[in-house]
Amino acid sequence: MEGTETSLVAGMIEGNEHSWEDFGRRSKPLVLARIKRTFAELNYNPPSVDTCCEITSALHDLLLANDKRALKSFQGRSKLSTWLTVIIRRVTIQHLATEQRLAKKRDRETALELVEQKEKTAQEHQGRLNILKLAKSKLSVDDQEILKLHYERELSYSQIAKHLRISTNAVGPKLSRARTRLRDQIRRVESSAGNTTEPRAP
């Protein structure tokens, strides 16, 4: 590009398509090399092809911005490659900073979603517990007792039989009937409350 750099930039400023095509063809290796070097200098992983394309596009946008102000700043006092290297590095750093901000924003949004989900889950769990508690309160004393002995105190059938003074063989059917009545009460409570989330009955 040496010897024709000033005229090349002048053609670009004038909007000459051939000048822009010539610039793109000649500058492409430099642009890609400078992008990759900037990533390495800042201890980032090598950029993907898509990332290089995004930064190259941002470079072109910068050269066209504000009536090509960046191009007009080139006075030929240094090589065009030297001048362009500075701009490529700046655009690359701006891209990385933007991506970093977006990543932090995504992390914050993800953390917020997790907190909201935990709160929602906790509320739903508490709602199920409240329904279950209310449904149990509507059972007979006998049903409440056998459910408590089996699910809360975790007694064996033989221990329950001894506690209730019934045969061991009678514990299973009695417990089954208590569970059935509990499920019925849960449905009634949900129906009256307009709740569609069914708690897991014992």
Q: Are residue 80 and residue 14 in the same domain, yes or no?
A: yes
Give the pLDDT confidence score for residue 77 in this predicted structure.
81
| Cα gap 9→44, rounded to integer Å | 32
Q: Report yes or no on 129 lying in a domain.
A: no
Mean pLDDT of 120-129: 88
CATH number at residue 98: 1.10.1740
The answer, yes or no, to whether residue 194 has pLDDT greater than 80, is no
| Torsion-angle region of 14 (φ positive above 0: left; ψ -120 to 50: alpha; else: beta) | alpha
Q: Report yes or no on 182 lying in a domain.
A: yes
Q: What percent of the chain has pLDDT over 90?
A: 59
Q: Are residue 96 and residue 31 in the same domain, yes or no?
A: yes
Q: Are residue 16 and residue 93 in the same domain, yes or no?
A: yes
More confident position, 201 or 117: 117
Q: Please compute, for residue 138, the number of CA atoms within 13 A of its CA located in the half-sphere on the CB side.
A: 16
34: exposed, middle or buried (Cβ count in 10 Å: 0-12, 13-18, 19+): buried
Nearest Cα to Cα of residue 26 among 9, 50, 48: 9
Mean pLDDT of 71-79: 85
Final residue of a structural domain among 64, 88, 109: 109
CATH number at residue 148: 1.10.10.10
Mean pLDDT of 100-118: 89
* Domain hosting residue 145, numbered range: 138-193
Cite the DSSP H helix spans in the chain: 5-14, 17-41, 49-72, 80-137, 141-147, 157-164, 168-193
Give the pLDDT confidence score for residue 2 in this predicted structure.
47
Give the pLDDT confidence score for residue 195 in this predicted structure.
52
Contact 188, 131 (CB under 8 A): no
Q: Report yes or no on 119 lying in a domain.
A: no
